[in-house]
Chains A and B, each alone.
Chain A
Amino acid sequence: MSLGVTLIVDGVPRRADANATLAASLLAAGITAFRRDLGGHPRAPLCGMGTCFECRVTVDGVADVRACLEPVRDGMRIETGK
């Protein structure tokens, strides 16, 4: 895996493969709670293909971005666990 870009995940810089999707990169970085349900329980990718919306995170201030459909970009800021 070529670690080509840096993501800022919840304020912490993380190296990621420039060709990977954001969902794969966040999972590789050990993120489990992409979002939280009403009871506060963590949720993470289920379908991997854009249908379930379980992977949604905030990207550069835009809420509800599906991480499995999103390419990574250097300097991207991600907030998880909302």
Chain B
Amino acid sequence: MRRVRHADVVVIGAGPAGLAAASAAAERGRSVLLVDQGLRPGGQIWRHRDEQALPSAARRLMARARNAGVKLVSGCRLVDAGSPNELVIDFRGRIDRHQTDAVIIATGARERFIPFPGWTLPGVTGIGGLQALLKGGLPVADTRIVLAGSGPLLLSVAAAVAQAGGRVQLVGEQAGAAALRRFAIRVLRDPAKLRQAISYRWACRSAPFRTDTWAVRAHGDGRLQSVEVSERGHLRSIRCDWLGIGSGLVPNTDLGQLLQCQVEHGAIAVDALQATSVAGVWAVGECTGVKGDEAATIEGEIAGRAAAGDAAGAGSTALQAARDSGRRFGRLLEETFAPRPEVLALATPDTILCRCEDVPMRSVDPGWTPRQAKLWARVGMGVCQGAVCGPSCTALFGWSANTVRPPLGNPSCGEWKSGLDSAD
């Protein structure tokens, strides 16, 4: 790898948090490289095929980044990072090394899945996964859809599939009615969140929404045909073409771990200016804790300013108050939508726990450490590096986060080698 390039600030992830961070730093005169593995910028919430169809906040932020001179590279990913001076970026197959004074991690979150019988059947996707496929062009018109999981994503995805002509048979929220009421009271105090919730519910008004409800077993021969749900204590079977599942989101900490940043409670730990425990490394948005796009944007703004040397701007009272409010909302999300014991007990001995390595529950002893599970049963040793089974094991057995190893996002050996060769 001969090519070594420099940018004052390198931001990884072009969701709301990364876009805001990159813009704020570039507006302060810094050269900014924004790297994102998606086909287009916007992250999970603003995943799109046509920018004009995005909400105005998204279009504004993308225009802001462009006007500020941010250099955005899509379809590229950070694969290794020893320090801010050793960032290894895969530019669609060409591997380059980058040096920088400031790294801002904005890698977002992913869905948490709690295994249950039948969850590996084609047609069973994440709730956000279904949303992502829909935004990627999956036609769902006139298909029957059941969503069963936890968290605000349920309603936003139900609205999106209903708008696309999908027939939503049921929206099942595993959290109890009382917990959801407490959550609703908090949302009532926030006009923007309330408006959003109402518009989502209106868009999927013909679909029943049930609390205390979860998927128990997915059935089908080679593909999903029906799902058995536990709906307020009663079992019933629903025929469907798609089943969206997922017990909330978990922060993507892998890049923080590679850079040796401290990780606490499964999130990259940061101070009030979004600085991590490692000098020259900031982290923003959902990789520091799940709390939604508004909070992610605020945190991005703070870190972009701080990384550009504008500590006073980053510490402004208004930004800090908004940041605190976002973190409070995050804690409420965590409390309200934690997986309940009945859901954690759904898997049978035959249920697959680690999908990459085909490891069933029966092969794993909850008394093991994650390392023993890797060595003895290959749990988390597959291509996804434990991205899927890691959070399942944490919820099921209390295991700590999976360790990560480069290259991240595991380019196939062939891809990796040809990239290295072409750079020599």
B388 A46 Cβ-Cβ under 8 A: yes
Closest Cβ–Cβ distance, residue B418 to chain A (whole Å): 10
Mark interface residues in B287-307 (1 if CB within 8 Å of A CB, else 0): 000000000000000000000
Mark interface residues in A17-33 (1 if CB within 8 Å of B CB, else 0): 10111011101100011
B37 A41 Cβ-Cβ under 8 A: no
Taking the complex as formed, is B358 at the interface, i.e. its CB lies under 8 A from any CB of chain A? yes
Chain B residues whose C-beta falls within 8 Å of the C-beta of A49 in the assembled complex: 38, 44, 110, 128-129, 132
Taking the complex as formed, is B39 at the interface, i.e. its CB lies under 8 A from any CB of chain A? yes
A43 B110 Cβ-Cβ under 8 A: no
Chain A residues whose C-beta falls within 8 Å of the C-beta of B37 in the assembled complex: 50, 69
Taking the complex as formed, is A42 at the interface, i.e. its CB lies under 8 A from any CB of chain B? yes
A62 B414 Cβ-Cβ under 8 A: yes
Interface size bucket, A side? 35 or more
Chain B 48-64 interface residues, beta-carbon cutoff 8 Å to A? 49-50
B412 A52 Cβ-Cβ under 8 A: no
| Known pairs A32-B223, A49-B132, A52-B387; A69 contacts B358 (CB<8 A) | no
Q: Which of A32, A69, A71 contacts B222 (CB 8 A)?
A: A32
Q: Which of B50, B133, B352 contacts A19 (CB 8 A)?
A: B50
Taking the complex as formed, is A11 at the interface, i.e. its CB lies under 8 A from any CB of chain B? no
Closest to A34 in B: B122
| Known pairs A32-B222, A32-B223; A51 contacts B138 (CB<8 A) | no
Interface CB pairs A-B, < 8 A, 15: A17-B137, A27-B138, A39-B358, A44-B125, A45-B133, A46-B113, A46-B126, A46-B355, A48-B131, A62-B412, A62-B414, A64-B412, A68-B132, A68-B133, A69-B38
Chain B residues within 8 Å of A, Cβ to Cβ: 37-39, 44, 49-50, 75, 110-111, 113, 120-126, 128-134, 136-139, 222-223, 352, 355-356, 358, 382-384, 387-388, 409-410, 412, 414-415
In the complex, the 4 A-B pairs of residues with the closest C-beta atoms, listed nearest first = A20-B137, A48-B132, A44-B122, A21-B136
Chain A residues within 8 Å of B, Cβ to Cβ: 1, 17, 19-21, 23-25, 27-28, 32-34, 37-39, 41-54, 56, 62-65, 68-69, 71
